[in-house]
Chain A
Amino acid sequence: AQTVTQSQPEMSVQEAETVTLSCTYDTSESDYYLFWYKQPPSRQMILVIRQEAYKQQNATENRFSVNFQKAAKSFSLKISDSQLGDAAMYFCAYRSAGGKLIFGQGTTLQVKP
């Protein structure tokens, strides 16, 4: 079975600085998708970025980018120029072949003004 691990329960970053959230996963599948979701206090899940495993190029969405290391099964999220609105809980997720999303434990990000 696939597992997703986020080893940082909480992270803090100064506004305008850069922060990296870690995620590792375990799978025997060769083709899969990885995601980062943001859950603000409203608890609405918001897609931040997604990566197809067959693509070697790291995905980027404006201030958000990933470092996808397939061999190491690592999928970290980098947030550049952090903003107060980035404060939220961030979840790393793996999509299995059956379509299920498996979430990591989550990392609460605090952005200090």
Chain B
Amino acid sequence: GAVVSQHPSWVICKSGTSVKIECRSLDFQATTMFWYRQFPKQSLMLMATSNEGSKATYEQGVEKDKFLINHASLTLSTLTVTSAHPEDSSFYICSARDRTANYGYTFGSGTRLTVV
């Protein structure tokens, strides 16, 4: 079945640095990628939607200058957390829509970000 590879699975970074998270669709073309943030034992909150070759659409309240999303190809989308702070520590998950699977959603395995 469709697979989305998300890396890294966990990362620890110092406050003020930037971190990049990658999501790659391995066997299908992901025209649309969604990025979520999840706090422990809470729901997935949609941060932004990215379409290949165009600017991402951010949800209300999400700082687009802090969470930079790039979807330069049909198989790769990246989320960069810029100037990270401890409050950015969270679990980030990507999800891609697969046209070949009736637009089903395939999720990455998530990235646990800890900012110290």
* Interfacial residues, chain A to chain B (CB-CB below 8 A): 35, 42-45, 47, 89, 91, 98-106, 108
Contacts and interface: CB of A to CB of B under 8 A. Distances in A.
Nearest to B110: A43
B25 interface: no
B100 interface: no
Dominant SS among interface residues on chain B: strand
Nearest to A95: B105
Given A89-B41, A104-B43, A105-B43, A45 B95 contact: yes
Contact of B93 (A45, A89, A99, A105): A45
Interface residues of B, number: 20
A43 B109 contact: yes
A105 B38 CA distance: 11
* Residue of A45, A98, A99, A106 ringed by the most chain B CB atoms within 10 A: A45
B13 interface: no
A44 B32 contact: no
A52 B45 CA distance: 23
* Interface of chain A: mostly helix, strand, loop or mixed: loop
Interface of B: 32, 34, 38, 41-46, 49, 91, 93, 95, 97, 103-105, 107, 109-110
B105 A105 contact: no
18 contacts: A43-B38, A43-B93, A43-B109, A43-B110, A44-B109, A44-B110, A45-B93, A45-B95, A45-B107, A47-B104, A91-B43, A99-B103, A101-B34, A101-B95, A103-B44, A104-B43, A105-B42, A106-B43
